[in-house]
Every structure is written in structure tokens, then in C-alpha cells.
């Protein structure tokens, strides 16, 4: 989604703005622009398309100046075009602004401003911010920005610059992330840490409603009422290298290979040494609290939602508390039955997904206790929830989520085991067995990654099919959903996942000769049933690629090919079976020449509805 950068300091603004925006490219965008104060005027340069287009446009004539802002836009209001790209300016070029989010009352404001003589040049909601500032500016930049913000409704992170107030940027946020990087004789603003990470690891993370005035040697933060706020420095604990490709062709491949490390980190210090219990110091729940919870909602989007489905299974099976798993954009609008006996768990890699954040706020409003599972420390969701458990996956850059998913599964397992331990809903022996099994998972994922040649071959063989089906039962079905999403989003192959038992209720009509069906068969209680479903599709001449645990001798009798993953407890095996599906999607996308890390129309962090 859109990216924001800002620079004020002793150095040149443009090189940082371009470098910062490059580091935010992974978020997905369709146009880019920068604005730099050159001592006389604010020079704005923008271009539709990739950042390389913008760089080409200003080659040999890069804006000179030490205060500037930049933006990568992902179109919401108005098509991708040079005009609609940010930064946007007022009528006289006195002010420029970059903005992520949506100004919901922009039409009313725009009509009013047009009536007062303002000339608009773009179709965006953002442009009203610049004209509004021009309209209310009274010589005091800070109080004028405060006035503008009091007039707008919606979600935003934004940065203003002013020709009349050189050497000063003003930024604020509401439901969209924004950080300030603290430098020496220079300061930085960004919507996301990777933009500034190779300049500084010392940051202020802005909270909703805060307004920061940023100069090269001073920063002050206030709330909407103008009262000062003391910010704590947040030290980022990962480095630029962690956000780079490290020799892999794509971030996605790097992140798939980082899964053993990420899962190990997420488990570390959360398991008792003697394997007797899960230790979640973050939660400190007791029997009284868990007995008071009569229903759990797990709410998330996309891949995180798929992790939630596995979480539902874990919690219901292990802790015997009813769980509903909901898509955040549905939950927030469907008047869910939530009260103070409800626990709502939201899962979000970025911690910024607007629907998940809104669902969290709605659950809180209705009286629910809330727990966030997220990968980003200090993210909006982490800050809004009553409690947080972090996945320690490190920065996930590729749009397609991989290591975030596996670490989310691990956290859901930990939560379920932790609950089961407190509620005594599971024999101690079984808890210890699963903990021992979880300890093995990182090594087993590593083994799954050792031999990818068969997967490459299947990807080449079937990568040009237009439809692929994924089937499975129980936890295999949940993983099938994630496998299908991965394939769709990066290879653009139409892929659907079905509970294998559902096939006969309609989908079987689509199974004809040569259609690839990826069949997961790892769940013992439904194994025979899954085999029957596989026979059904084989009888329609589908090509079946089976996914099974080592030691399975049956599946190969019915499938055309079988990919084996190490043998593991059937509760834990989703952490392994998803890996070949991620790789299949990756190599299929490569076969089809797709932009793996930045698939079309998609963005990493979905901060608009």
C-alpha cells in the first residue's frame, strides 16, 4: 500500500527520499513522487509507474534541497496517473502533502474549497489537505495543520511541508502507521521502518492523534489539543540486512527459507525446559480468567485468517472453548455477539491491516478482552489490543506471506497448549508430546526445504494450467486454503481449495481430464475418507499431486506424484505441508514470468478498506 518518506537535515533530501521509497516498494504502488524545497519554491516531481520511471524523469536534474517528502501511491481515489500521484500542492505551491489512508469527508471539503476559488488538479481525496491548509494558514504552520486535522474525517498518516516554513515538516497519523527516525543533524519520517533502517535504528513511533513537528535538530510531539507528549525512543532490533535479499533471487524465497529460524525464534523461551508447559509471560492468564471466557473470536484477513482457522482447531481441540474464526471485514460490520465473556484474538503480520484494526476496536467497544498476534512491535494493532504475543519472524517483505503464516501457526499452538495446561483439558503427557514435537518443527521445515527439485518440475509441468484445485479434510483443508491463496496471488493461476468432502456437492463438475488437483492427506482420522475423494477425482482423469508424511505407503497408489514431508504429529504437520505449497506457488510464478515479490494489484500492508 502507499509509502511515505520525509527528510529534514543538513544533507540532501532527494537521495534519501528515493532510497527510502525504494525500500518501501514491496508494499505495492502504482505511482511515485517527491517534493523538495529548493530555497525558493517547492519542486514537485512525480510519475506513474515504478520508481525507476521517476528516477529516469529527474536524471541529471535531481531536486536540490534539504527538506523534502516522498510517496508511493496505491490508487484508491482516482486512477494511477502523474496528476493523481502524490505529493499534492495547494493553488500557489506554498504547501505540499503526502498521505496514506482515506479522507472520508473530502467531497464536502472539496466542494466548499472550490466555492472559495481553489483550483483542484487531481481526482484524489488527498489534494483537499493542501488546499485546506492554504485556506486556514495564519502564519503559524503548526496551529494551521492542527486546524486542518480537526476538519478532516477518515484515516491517515500524512506529512506536510511549507515553503513559508522551510526546514520543518509536520506529520500526524490516525489508523495508519508513521515513524520518525532520529538522526544526527537530520531526521526522517516514514510510514514503515525499512525506509529508514539503514540511516537510523532510533525511532519515535507515532500514536493516533499525535502531531509531530520535525526539524533537523528538534522534534516535538503534541496531541490535537496542543498538549505536549513525551515520546520514548524505540530501538529497532533488526538491521538493514534483515530487510534485504541476502543472495536469494526474491524476498519470498528468502522468507520461505527463513522459516526454520523464524519458528525457532517464535518458540524460544516460550517452552518450559522439561517440556511440561508453555510459558507465555506476556499473558499470565489463570484458571479464573479462562473459566470466564465462554467464546473466542479469531479475526484476521487473508493468510492470517487461514492461520486463524488452524488456531480455531487447536483451541477447540485442546482447550475445549468454542471458537469462531471470522474475516475481519465481515466481523466488523455484522454485529457479532460479543460481550465481556468473549476473548477476541486478532492476527496480523503487519499489525496495520485496517479491517483487522477496526475489528479489534469493535470487539473492544463491545466489551471483549483482546489479544493481538502480530509480527510488528509497536504496530497499531499491538498497541490497541489489551495483550500481545509477537511472532518473531523478522521483517516480511514479499507481498505473499510465508514465514508470518508458519510463525502465526506456532503462536496459535502455544496459546492453545497454554490454555489447555491452565484448564486441564488435556493430559499432561499429551501436552509434553506436542511440545517435544514443536521443538522438532524448525529442523523438519529445514528438511522439507532440502529437495525442491520435484516441486520445480511440477511447477514447470503444471504452471501453465489455468485452474488448479486443492483438497483436504480437517487441518489439511485449512492448509489447502492457504496453498490456493499463495498460488493465486503470485502466479495468477485460478486456484480453489475445497474441503475434500464438499467436492461432490458441485465442484466435481469442474474436474476433467488433466486438471491438477493437489491433495493433502495427513490427517489420520479422515485419511480413508480423503483417499476416497482422491479416487473420485482420479476417476475423472485429474492429475493428482499428493502431499503426505514420510512413511505413508498408500497415497502413491492413487496419486500421480507424491511430495513427502517429514513425519510429525498430525496437529503439527500443517507447519510442514504448507512449505511445498509455498514453493509450488513460487516456482509456478517464476515459470510464468510473474513479479513474485510484488504481484499485480496487491500490496503488503492493506491500510485502506
CA distance 38 to 587: 47
Tell me if 350 contacts ligand F6R by CB under 6 A: yes
Lay out the sheet containing 3-9: strands in order across.
42-48, 31-37, 67-73, 3-9, 186-190, 179-182, 202-205, 234-235
Strands 179-182 and 202-205: antiparallel
Burial degree of 294 (CB within 10 A; 0-12, 13-18, 19+) = exposed
Nearer to ligand F6R, 6 or 599 (CB): 599
Q: Is 348 in the site for ligand F6R (CB under 6 A)?
A: yes
Q: In the chain, what is the straight-line distance between the N-terminal and C-terminal CA atoms, in Å?
A: 11
Output the smallest distance, CB 26 to ligand F6R, in A.
11
Say whether residue 329 binds ligand F6R (CB under 6 A). Answer: no
CB nearer to ligand F6R: give 180 or 301. Answer: 301
Phi, psi dihedral angles at 427 (to 5 degrees): -60, 140
The residue sitting closest to ligand F6R, measured at its beta carbon, is 302
CA distance 427 to 567: 22
Q: For residues 319 and 376, which CB has a smaller minimum distance to ligand F6R in the complex?
A: 376
Residue pair 287/422 in contact (Cβ under 8 Å)? The answer is yes
Provide the 3-class DSSP secondary structure of residue 94. coil
- The nearer residue to ligand F6R, 203 or 605, going by C-beta atoms, is 605
Site string for ligand F6R, 287-326 (x = CB under 6 A): --------------xxxx----------------------
Q: Which stretch binds ligand F6R (CB under 6 A): 92-100, 223-231, 262-270, 347-355?
A: 347-355
Q: Tell me the HSE value of 74 on the side-chain side, using a 13 A CA sphere.
A: 26
The verdict on 380 binding ligand F6R (CB under 6 A) reads no
Q: Is 353 in the site for ligand F6R (CB under 6 A)?
A: yes
As a three-state string, the secondary structure of 432-482 is: HHHHHHHHHHHHHHHHHCCCCHHHHHHHHHHCCCCEEEEEECCHHHHHHHH
Residue 198 class from Cβ within 10 Å (0-12 exposed, 13-18 middle, 19+ buried)? middle
Of 124, 191, 401, 582, the one binding ligand F6R by CB under 6 A:
401
x/- letters, 474..503, toward ligand F6R (CB under 6 A):
-----------x---x--------------
Told to check if 124 binds ligand F6R by CB under 6 A, we report no
**Cβ–Cβ under 8 Å, residues 5 and 190:** yes
We find the least distance from the C-beta atom of residue 378 to ligand F6R, in angstroms, to be 14
Q: 139 in helix, strand or coil?
A: coil
Residue 493 backbone class (left: φ over 0; alpha: ψ -120 to 50; beta: rest): beta
Distance separating alpha carbons of residues 525 and 571, to the nearest angstrom: 11
Q: Which listed residue (17, 271, 400, 517) binds ligand F6R by CB under 6 A?
A: 400
How many chain residues interact with ligand F6R (CB under 6 A)?
Answer: 15
CB of 396 to ligand F6R, least distance (A): 8
Q: Closest approach of Cβ 605 to ligand F6R, in Å?
A: 6
Looking at the Cβ atoms of 200 and 344, the one nearer to ligand F6R is 344
Among 31, 349, 370, 444, binds ligand F6R (CB under 6 A): 349
Single out the segment in contact with ligand F6R by CB under 6 A; choices: 245-253, 284-292, 348-356, 449-457: 348-356
604 labelled catalytic: yes
Pairing of strands 228-229, 295-300: unpaired
Neighbouring C-beta atoms of residue 121, cutoff 10 Å: 11
Place of cell 513525551: 230
Q: How far is the CB of 46 from ligand F6R (least distance, A)?
A: 27
Indicate whether 356 belongs to the interface with ligand F6R (CB under 6 A): yes
Closer of 219 and 585 to ligand F6R (Cβ): 585
* 606 is an interface residue for ligand F6R by CB under 6 A: yes
Taking the least distance from each CB to ligand F6R, the nearer of 192 and 476 is 192
Nearer to ligand F6R, 304 or 565 (CB): 304
Q: Which is nearer to ligand F6R, 203 or 391 (CB)?
A: 391
Q: Return the C-alpha cell found at 478.
A: 485449512
Q: Say whether residue 72 binds ligand F6R (CB under 6 A).
A: no
Taking CB under 6 A as the rule, does residue 342 contact ligand F6R? no
Of 99-107, 159-167, 236-244, 345-353, the segment contacting ligand F6R by CB under 6 A is: 345-353
Least separation in angstroms between residue 237's CB and ligand F6R is 19
Q: Which residue among 110, 173, 486, 604 is the active-site one?
A: 604
State yes or no: residue 67 binds ligand F6R (CB under 6 A).
no
- Beta carbons of 525 and 476 less than 8 angstroms apart: no
* Least distance from ligand F6R to the Cβ atom of residue 581, Å: 12
- Which member of 2, 171, 301, 594 is catalytic? 2
Chain centroid, CA 64 distance in Å:
35
Q: Which is nearer to ligand F6R, 277 or 397 (CB)?
A: 397
Q: Which ranges constitute the DSSP H helices of 192-324?
A: 251-257, 259-267, 287-292, 302-319
Q: For residue 572, give the C-alpha cell.
A: 503439527
Q: Can you name the residues that pair with 32 across neighbouring β-strands?
A: 47, 72
Contacting positions for ligand F6R (CB under 6 A): 301-304, 348-350, 353, 356, 400-401, 485, 489, 605-606
User: Any idea which residues carry the catalytic annotation?
Assistant: 2, 604
Amino acid at each position: 500500500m502507499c509509502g511515505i518518506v520525509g527528510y529534514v537535515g543538513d544533507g540532501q533530501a532527494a537521495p534519501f527520499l528515493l532510497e527510502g521509497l525504494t525500500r518501501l516498494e514491496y508494499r505495492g504502488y502504482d505511482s511515485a513522487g517527491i517534493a523538495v524545497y529548493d530555497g525558493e519554491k517547492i519542486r514537485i516531481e512525480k510519475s506513474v509507474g515504478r520508481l525507476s520511471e521517476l528516477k529516469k524523469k529527474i536524471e541529471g536534474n535531481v531536486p536540490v534541497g534539504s527538506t523534502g517528502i516522498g510517496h508511493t501511491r496505491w490508487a484508491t481515489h482516482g486512477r494511477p496517473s502523474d496528476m493523481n500521484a502524490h505529493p499534492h500542492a495547494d493553488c500557489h505551491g506554498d504547501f505540499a502533502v503526502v498521505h496514506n489512508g482515506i479522507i472520508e469527508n473530502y467531497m464536502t471539503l472539496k466542494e466548499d474549497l472550490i466555492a472559495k476559488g481553489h483550483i483542484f488538479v487531481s481526482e484524489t481525496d488527498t489534494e483537499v489537505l493542501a488546499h485546506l491548509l492554504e485556506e486556514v494558514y495564519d502564519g503559524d504552520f503548526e496551529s494551521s495543520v492542527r486546524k486542518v486535522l480537526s476538519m478532516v474525517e477518515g484515516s491517515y498518516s500524512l506529512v506536510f511541508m511549507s515553503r513559508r516554513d522551510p526546514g520543518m515538516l509536520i506529520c500526524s497519523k490516525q489508523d495508519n502507521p508513521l515513524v520518525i527516525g532520529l538522526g544526527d543533524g537530520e531526521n526522517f519520517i516514514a510510514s514503515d521502518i525499512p525506509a529508514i533502517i539503514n540511516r537510523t535504528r532510533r525511532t519515535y513511533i507515532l500514536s493516533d492523534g499525535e502531531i509531530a513537528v520535525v526539524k533537523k535538530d528538534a522534534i516535538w510531539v503534541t496531541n490535537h489539543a496542543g498538549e505536549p507528549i513525551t515520546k520514548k525512543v524505540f530501538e529497532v532490533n533488526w538491521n538493514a540486512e534483515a530487510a534485504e535479499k541476502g543472495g536469494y533471487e526474491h524476498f519470498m524465497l528468502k522468507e520461505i527459507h527463513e522459516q526454520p529460524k523464524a519458528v525457532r525464534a517464535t518458540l524460544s523461551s516460550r517452552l518450559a525446559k522439561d517440556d511440561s508447559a508453555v510459558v507465555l509471560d506476556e499473558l499470565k492468564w489463570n484458571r479464573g480468567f479462562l473459566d470466564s471466557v465462554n467464546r473466542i473470536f479469531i479475526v484476521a484477513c487473508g493468510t492470517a485468517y487461514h492461520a486463524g482457522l488452524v488456531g480455531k482447531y487447536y483451541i477447540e481441540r485442546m482447550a475445549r472453548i468454542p471458537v469462531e474464526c471470522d474475516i475481519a471485514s465481515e466481523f466488523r460490520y455484522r454485529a457479532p455477539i460479543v460481550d465481556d465473556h468473549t476473548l477476541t484474538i486478532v492476527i496480523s503480520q503487519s499489525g496495520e491491516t485496517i479491517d483487522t484494526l477496526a475489528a479489534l476496536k469493535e470487539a473492544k467497544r463491545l466489551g471483549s478482552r483482546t489479544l493481538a498476534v502480530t509480527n510488528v512491535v509497536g504496530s497499531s494493532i499491538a498497541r490497541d489490543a489489551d495483550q500481545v504475543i509477537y511472532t518473531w519472524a523478522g521483517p516480511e517483505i514479499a507481498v505473499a506471506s510465508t514465514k508470518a503464516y508458519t510463525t502465526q501457526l506456532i503462536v496459535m499452538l502455544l496459546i492453545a497448549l497454554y490454555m489447555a495446561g491452565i484448564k486441564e483439558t488435556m493430559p499432561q503427557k499429551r501436552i509434553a508430546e506436542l511440545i517435544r514435537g514443536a521443538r522438532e518443527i524448525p529442523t523438519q521445515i529445514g528438511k522439507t526445504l532440502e529437495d525442491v527439485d520435484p516441486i520445480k518440475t511440477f511447477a514447470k509441468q503444471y504452471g501453465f494450467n489455468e485452474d488448479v484445485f486443492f483438497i483436504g479434510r480437517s487441518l489439511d483443508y485449512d492448509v489447502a486454503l492457504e496453498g490456493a491463496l499463495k498460488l493465486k496471488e503470485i502466479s495468477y493461476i485460478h486456484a480453489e481449495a475445497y474441503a475434500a468432502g464438499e467436492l461432490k456437492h458441485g465442484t466435481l463438475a469442474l474436474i476433467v481430464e488433466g486438471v491438477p488437483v493437489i491433495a493433502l492427506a495427513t490427517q489420520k482420522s479422515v485419511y480413508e475418507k480423503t483417499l476416497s475423494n482422491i479416487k473420485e477425482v482420479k476417476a475423472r482423469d485429474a492429475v493428482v499431486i499428493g502431499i503426505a508424511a514420510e512413511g505413508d505407503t498408500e497415497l502413491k497408489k492413487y496419486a500421480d506424484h507424491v511430495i513427502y514431508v517429514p513425519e510429525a504429529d498430525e496437529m503439527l504437520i500443517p507447519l510442514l505441508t504448507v512449505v511445498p505449497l509455498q514453493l509450488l506457488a513460487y516456482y509456478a510464478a517464476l515459470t510464468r514470468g510473474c513479479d513474485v515479490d510484488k504481484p499485480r494489484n496487491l500490496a503488503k500492508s492493506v491500510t485502506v478498506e
